[in-house]
Structure 1
Amino acid sequence: MPTKIQDKCRQCSKLSVESAIARHGTEGDGCWVGELCHKRRTYYKKRDLYNRNRRLKYQGDKESVKQLESITIPSVPAVIVYFYRGRKDEPLHALSVELWVGQQRRATREPVHTLGWKEANVREYILSAIASFSQQYEVSISGVTATVELKPSLCPLEPCPLKVEEIN
């Protein structure tokens, strides 16, 4: 039976490598174990992709897997939404939306703070971004393809309420 996902490691995988080592290395809580942690971080980041590939492998026979490997990559539009929050049950700090077509990023809606937004406001913002991407690039987009969760401490916006500034 597989081991249970460690929430601490899953949260750590959202951090950059430098901040993860600073937080969990010798100067932090001391749980950083070098290569093992790098492997766990990679696994937690790519877990959905690994599981999808595993399901495809077991659904079909070996021939269909070989056919999947030889298929060229289609240029399908994909919308990725970046949520800046610690956990799914925490309030959303900020969000960003990107349009990818094939292997190229075509457009980005810069991150915006979502302090005080309700779920309907977030949904409306995402749908308006999808509509503007569809119109601007003349592509048919069915909805959000993927979501990525990032720690609020990685918020690129300035000024940010999480980053305390001295007021003189």
Structure 2
Amino acid sequence: MLSAEQAKALHDPEGDGCWNPKVCYNRRSHARHRDRRNQARNRQRQTTVLEELAIDISEFTDVWTAILVVYRPAGTDTPVHAIAAQIWQGQQQVAVVQPIHCMGLVPSQVHAYVRKLLALLDEHYGIRKFASQERFDPELCPIRPCIHHPMSER
């Protein structure tokens, strides 16, 4: 914050003796302009455009997949609230199996329903197993009326 003359007087050989003209001018300039340089660097980082790489996915457009959608609370042994399915061809969703409530069904009945669902998918689309399973909270159950949405009954 001192001027160059004040810094020299304080740090020259009559002062504490640390003034070195080869280094100190650059250090002082750097300290004076630090905010401006940091601001320019930040602007540069923000305006840097990332390169987008395109991958040819045309060979995957004919791939049929099914996703089992299960509405159940988090945990390992929680009861299944509802079951649905989504059918995809490539990146496009082409069909949906509407959810059904599983309240009152024992696990063997839930498994029997899933087997029926897979038989239907095999018959229509040649899908023999689910590609993945998505778990959603029962609060997101779209079926009305639902025990988790008592206001929707009115």
The number of equivalent residue pairs is 99
Q: 1:72 to 1:84 in 2, by over 3 A?
A: same
Given the alignment of the two structures, is residue 157 of structure 1 paired with residue 107 of structure 2, yes or no?
Answer: no
Given the alignment of the two structures, is residue 146 of structure 1 paired with residue 132 of structure 2, yes or no?
Answer: yes
| Correspondent of 1:86 among 54, 62, 73 | 73
Separation of aligned partners in 1, 2:86 and 2:153:
34
**Gaps spanning 5+ residues in structure 2: where?**
1-54
Deviation (angstroms), 1:72 = 4.2
**Gaps spanning 5+ residues in structure 1: where?**
1-68
Separation of aligned partners in 2, 1:149 and 1:72:
29
Deviation (angstroms), 1:96 = 0.5
Aligned residue number for residue 58 of structure 1: none
Q: 1:107 to 1:86 in 2, by over 3 A?
A: same
Q: Are the counterparts in 1 of residues 144 and 153 from structure 2 also a CA contact under 8 Å? A: no
Aligned residue number for residue 15 of structure 2: none
Deviation (angstroms), 1:166 = 9.3
Given the alignment of the two structures, is residue 76 of structure 1 paired with residue 56 of structure 2, yes or no?
Answer: no
Paired residue type of 1:145: A
TM-score computed with the length of structure 1 as normaliser: 0.51
Deviation (angstroms), 1:164 = 2.4
Deviation (angstroms), 1:125 = 1.4
Identity fraction in percent:
28
Aligned residue number for residue 130 of structure 1: 118
Separation of aligned partners in 1, 2:105 and 2:136:
18
Q: Are the counterparts in 1 of residues 72 and 80 from structure 2 also a CA contact under 8 Å? A: yes
Q: Are the counterparts in 1 of residues 67 and 132 from structure 2 also a CA contact under 8 Å? A: yes
Given the alignment of the two structures, is residue 96 of structure 1 paired with residue 84 of structure 2, yes or no?
Answer: yes
Separation of aligned partners in 2, 1:73 and 1:148:
25
Structure 1 runs, 4 residues or longer, greater than 6 Å off: none
TM-score computed with the length of structure 2 as normaliser: 0.55
Cα shift readout 1:3-25 (whole Å, capped 9, x = no counterpart): xxxxxxxxxxxxxxxxxxxxxxx
Aligned-residue Cα RMSD (Å) equals 2.6
Q: Which moved more, 1:99-108 or 1:141-150?
A: 99-108
Deviation (angstroms), 1:140 = 2.2
Secondary structure (helix, strand or coil) at the match of 1:144 reads coil
